[in-house]
């Protein structure tokens, strides 16, 4: 890539085992780097499309798999920083580069000569003697071109390209607006009375947040989930809980330049138009075409069947909370800013422990060790931290992942703490994905370089980071995604790791969560941060007994969001998104005491890009799979049964998208699952009417 006018460190990664040299890349390098890489990719595409030789799998599909390496590397670095450590320079370029990238890929998808080669291979695939993986890769490319408009008339292609370009701009703006809202709001508490009920771990986190924002000596409530949720749980000051909750719930809907409602309306209108151009009745039909669920009707059957159970359970929970409020002399109904506070009190009463009592036993360092230990027991891999390497932020840590023979299998980066330059939530991504193709420099294949980003509250200097049980589950969840990338063992990059159907991608992550609460893991790693003593068995037993506590609330929060997502995308555009949200929630009988987990104006899964659009349901679809998959281990009486672990690795974690997900699941389990296992684990009972669903 030396002939390109760009910083070589963007594309020639010569750090530790091929790690990017983050310290050699400046924010200002990205703009020229993208220009050079886009030009290089254009030339590679032209060479494939204009090849005078007849199309073959190698000279067309494999060539496409390897094309655009420079662009992929620059994109990985840029989008990684845009999510985890952004600034004004990065955000300005993000707004510019998102539509430019969309134009670039639209041009490729509508390249008639290139599609003719792919189409010829697809039509003659039965004669090509392809492996299962090769046929999956060919199918992915062919469908990708068709879904990009390759078969449309020229005028419709041009319209589709403009739609995609605009959607890319809208998605970038939506995400930046949410981050801007979160950065703009804070509540500094200096009066001792305002801190009533807040445990030491939360006060430490709030003081750390204040220091990070330049306010020494105060305690700051921010909209980071790792602070706002425990504040809503422990604060005895109802008026402050309401103030903080309303700010949290109103992100993206406060008017002004960061308001997202017009972005949502235009996004939904353009998505509906895009679907119709491509021959689908709705955007949901377009998105579900390549999933396990297949149709909106199948998704609706799952979500609404669960909704009825969850709502009944939540109303029972609400009645119990109302009883506590009455006991305290309160005469107000249970409102959303009350739920977490009184649910914590109810849990203390029912199970005789509190979140504050549990948290000293859940040190971040120990839960990271637990993640690695489970991976070693199941898959034979070990993790060793390597310190002193240049990274994109000082908080980021690097680990070598090796197999039982000591061979290096992956690099893993962990970025665990919240900061104002990081978008909220938690996610896994890759700087580099595993594959086995020969490269131009004579090497074969590439090492996966995978990273996890979380938003845990950063402790005060010299103090350990303490997690909630939900935080610990999040850590396990994201590491499950990371394992999906690191254990990948495929030939072609496009089906590597998490390159699977959207409603299958959450299976490896949600399944991995189950091992957090395996008793021997908690017994080993849930140790008190001061004494080193393991969690007392009595407390451990209470934690395990309370696993389904508050399940109605959590399921209503999630399911309402998923149903609203599908409602938006099964309509022919939406003129007033908030009116549709209200209509759907009223129709469901949404309790006034609970709100959607992600209200429309900050529903980043759905509107900050197209990743989970008409796809938020996939967490529950995968939950049906993961509950059944963990049952396979429980049936053996050993959570680390080596036979099941080997089948899990070989059929789920290592095959990526190289095999149809239904086939891979049946190869692991012998059958497709019944949703009853998921409902049982949630404490919502059996749902007989779901037993024959496609899940």
Question: What mean pLDDT is reported for the chain?
Answer: 95
Question: Which two three-digit tokens encode residue 354?
Answer: 């509190």
| Contact residues for 408 (Cβ-Cβ < 8 A; gap 6+) | 17, 400, 401, 402, 447
Same domain, 189 and 146: no
* pLDDT of residue 695 exceeding 70: no
Contact 105, 632 (CB under 8 A): no
392, part of any domain: yes
330, part of any domain: no
Distance CA(503)–CA(9), nearest Å, equals 36
Distance CA(15)–CA(221), nearest Å, equals 39
* pLDDT of residue 602 exceeding 60: yes
Distance CA(176)–CA(110), nearest Å, equals 30
- The DSSP result for 158-225, as a single string, is HHHHHHHHHHHHHHHHHHHHHHHHHHH--EEE-SGGGGTT--HHHHHHHHHHHHHTT-TT-EEE-S-H
Give the mean pLDDT of 176-185. 95
Same domain, 495 and 370: yes
Helices 112-123 and 132-147, packing angle to 10 deg: 140
Sign of torsion over alpha carbons 587, 588, 594, 596 = negative
pLDDT reported for residue 257 = 95
CATH number of the domain residue 485 falls in: 1.10.1370.40
482 sits in which H/E element? helix 469-486
Same domain, 114 and 194: no
Band the pLDDT of 5: cuts 50, 70, 90: low
Helices 364-379 and 469-486, packing angle to 10 deg: 40
* pLDDT of residue 561 exceeding 70: yes
Which residue among 525, 545, 565 closes a domain? 545
pLDDT reported for residue 355 = 86
- 611 Cα distance to chain centroid: 9
Give the mean pLDDT of 443-465. 94
Give the mean pLDDT of 210-216. 88
Band the pLDDT of 470: cuts 50, 70, 90: very high
Residue 450's beta-bridge partner residues?
412, 430
Same domain, 238 and 381: no
Same domain, 230 and 145: no
Contact 94, 464 (CB under 8 A): no
* pLDDT of residue 218 exceeding 90: no
Same domain, 374 and 506: yes
Which residue among 198, 220, 250 closes a domain? 250
* pLDDT of residue 401 exceeding 70: yes
402: left (phi over 0), alpha (psi -120 to 50) or beta: beta
Distance CA(399)–CA(595), nearest Å, equals 39
* pLDDT of residue 406 exceeding 50: yes
pLDDT reported for residue 575 = 93
Per residue in 244-255, pLDDT (tens digit) is: 999 999 999 999
Give the mean pLDDT of 203-229. 92
Contact 70, 132 (CB under 8 A): no
Quickly list H helices, 574-691. Answer: 577-588, 604-607, 618-634, 642-648, 661-669, 676-682
- The DSSP result for 83-139, as a single string, is HHS--HHHHHHHHHHHHHHHHHHHHHHT-HHHHHHHHHHHHTGGGTT--HHHHHHHH
- For the question of residue 478 being annotated catalytic, the response is yes
308, part of any domain: no
Same domain, 371 and 513: yes
Catalytic-role residue among 94, 165, 317, 478: 478
Same domain, 190 and 138: no
Which residue among 151, 176, 194 closes a domain? 151
Same domain, 376 and 519: yes
* 327 vs 6 pLDDT, higher one: 327
Contact 415, 84 (CB under 8 A): yes
Question: What's the domain count of the chain?
Answer: 3
Per residue in 72-107, pLDDT (tens digit) is: 999 999 999 999 999 999 999 999 999 999 999 999
* pLDDT of residue 690 exceeding 60: no
Give the mean pLDDT of 619-648. 96
Closest alpha carbon to 72 in 496, 365, 458, 370: 496
CATH number of the domain residue 110 falls in: 1.20.1050.40
Tell me if residue 63 falls in helix, strand or coil: helix
- 258 Cα distance to chain centroid: 23
pLDDT reported for residue 685 = 67
pLDDT reported for residue 693 = 28
| Contact residues for 547 (Cβ-Cβ < 8 A; gap 6+) | 517, 683
* pLDDT of residue 441 exceeding 70: yes
Same domain, 84 and 220: no
325, part of any domain: no
Same domain, 88 and 202: no
> Across the beta sheet with 408-417, what order do the strands follow?
382-386, 397-402, 408-417, 449-456, 427-432
Per residue in 253-303, pLDDT (tens digit) is: 999 999 999 999 999 999 999 999 999 999 999 999 989 999 999 999 999
Share of the chain above pLDDT 70, in %: 98
Q: Could you list the residue range(s) of the whole structural domain that residue 479 is in? A: 360-545
Contact 404, 419 (CB under 8 A): no
277, part of any domain: no
481, part of any domain: yes
| Contact residues for 328 (Cβ-Cβ < 8 A; gap 6+) | none
Q: For residue 586, how many C-alpha atoms fall within 13 Å in the half-sphere facing its CB? A: 6
Residue that has been written with the tokens 């090509």 in this structure: 128
323, part of any domain: no
* pLDDT of residue 675 exceeding 70: yes
Same domain, 40 and 99: yes
689, part of any domain: no
* pLDDT of residue 423 exceeding 50: yes
Band the pLDDT of 691: cuts 50, 70, 90: very low
């Amino acid at each position: 890539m030396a002939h390109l006018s760009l910083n070589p460190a963007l594309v020639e990664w010569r750090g530790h085992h091929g790690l990017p040299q983050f310290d050699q890349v400046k924010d200002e390098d990205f703009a020229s780097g993208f220009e050079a890489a886009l030009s290089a990719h254009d030339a590679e595409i032209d060479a494939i499309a204009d090849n005078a030789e007849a199309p073959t799998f190698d000279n067309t599909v494999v060539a496409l798999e390897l094309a655009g390496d420079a662009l992929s590397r620059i994109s990985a670095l840029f989008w990684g920083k845009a999510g985890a450590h952004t600034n004004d320079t990065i955000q300005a370029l993000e707004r510019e580069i998102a539509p430019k990238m969309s134009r670039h890929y639209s041009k490729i998808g509508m390249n008639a000569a290139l599609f003719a080669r792919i189409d010829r291979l697809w039509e003659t695939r039965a004669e090509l003697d392809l492996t299962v993986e090769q046929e999956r890769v060919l199918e992915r490319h062919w469908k990708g071109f068709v879904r990009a408009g390759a078969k449309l008339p020229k005028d419709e292609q041009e319209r589709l390209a403009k739609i995609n370009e605009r959607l890319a701009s809208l998605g970038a703006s939506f995400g930046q607006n949410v981050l801007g809202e979160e950065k703009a709001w804070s509540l500094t508490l200096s009066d001792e009375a305002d801190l009533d009920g807040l445990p030491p771990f939360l006060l430490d986190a709030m003081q750390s947040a204040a220091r990070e924002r330049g306010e020494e000596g105060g305690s700051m409530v921010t909209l980071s989930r790792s602070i706002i949720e425990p504040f809503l749980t422990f604060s005895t000051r109802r008026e402050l809980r309401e103030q903080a909750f309303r700010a949290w719930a109103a992100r993206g809907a406060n008017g002004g330049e960061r308001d997202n409602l017009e972005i949502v309306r235009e996004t939904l209108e353009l998505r509906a138009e895009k679907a119709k151009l491509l021959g689908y009745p709705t955007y949901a039909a377009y998105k579900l075409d390549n999933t396990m669920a297949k149709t909106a009707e199948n998704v609706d059957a799952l979500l609404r069947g669960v909704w009825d159970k969850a709502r009944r359970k939540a109303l029972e929970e609400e009645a119990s909370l109302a009883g506590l409020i009455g006991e305290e002399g309160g005469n107000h109904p249970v409102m959303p800013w009350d739920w977490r506070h009184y649910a914590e009190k109810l849990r203390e009463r029912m199970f005789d422990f509190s979140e504050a009592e549990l948290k000293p036993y859940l040190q971040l360092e120990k839960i990271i060790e637990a993640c690695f230990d489970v991976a070693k027991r199941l898959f034979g891999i070990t993790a060793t931290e390597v310190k002193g390497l240049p990274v994109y932020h000082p908080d980021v840590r690097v680990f070598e992942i090796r197999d039982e023979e000591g061979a290096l299998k992956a690099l893993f980066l962990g970025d665990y703490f919240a900061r104002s330059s990081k978008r909220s939530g938690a996610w896994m991504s890759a700087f580099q994905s595993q594959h086995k193709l020969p490269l131009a420099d004579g090497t074969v294949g590439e090492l996966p370089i995978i990273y996890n980003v979380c938003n845990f509250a950063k402790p005060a200097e010299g103090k350990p980071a303490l997690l909630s049980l939900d935080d610990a589950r999040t850590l396990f969840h994201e590491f499950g995604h990371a394992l999906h990338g690191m254990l990948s063992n495929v030939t072609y990059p496009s089906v590597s790791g998490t390159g699977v159907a959207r409603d299958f991608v959450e299976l490896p992550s949600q399944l991995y969560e189950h091992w957090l609460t395996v008793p021997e893991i908690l017994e080993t790693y849930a140790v008190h941060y001061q004494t080193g003593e393991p969690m007392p068995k009595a407390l451990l037993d209470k934690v395990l007994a309370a696993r389904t506590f508050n399940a109605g609330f959590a399921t209503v929060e999630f399911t309402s969001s998923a149903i609203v997502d599908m409602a938006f995308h099964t309509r022919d555009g939406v003129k007033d998104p908030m009116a549709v949200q209200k209509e759907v929630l009223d129709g469901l009988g949404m309790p006034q005491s609970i709100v959607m987990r992600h209200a429309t104006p900050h529903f980043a899964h759905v509107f900050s890009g197209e990743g989970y659009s008409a796809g938020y349901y996939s967490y529950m679809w995968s939950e049906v799979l993961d509950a059944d998959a963990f049952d396979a281990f429980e049936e053996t009486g050993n959570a680390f049964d080596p036979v099941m672990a080997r089948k899990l690795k070989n059929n789920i974690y290592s095959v990526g998208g190289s095999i149809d997900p239904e086939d891979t699941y049946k190869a692991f389990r012998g059958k497709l699952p019944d949703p009853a296992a998921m409902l049982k684990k949630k404490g919502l009972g059996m749902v007989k009417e779901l037993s024959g669903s496609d899940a």
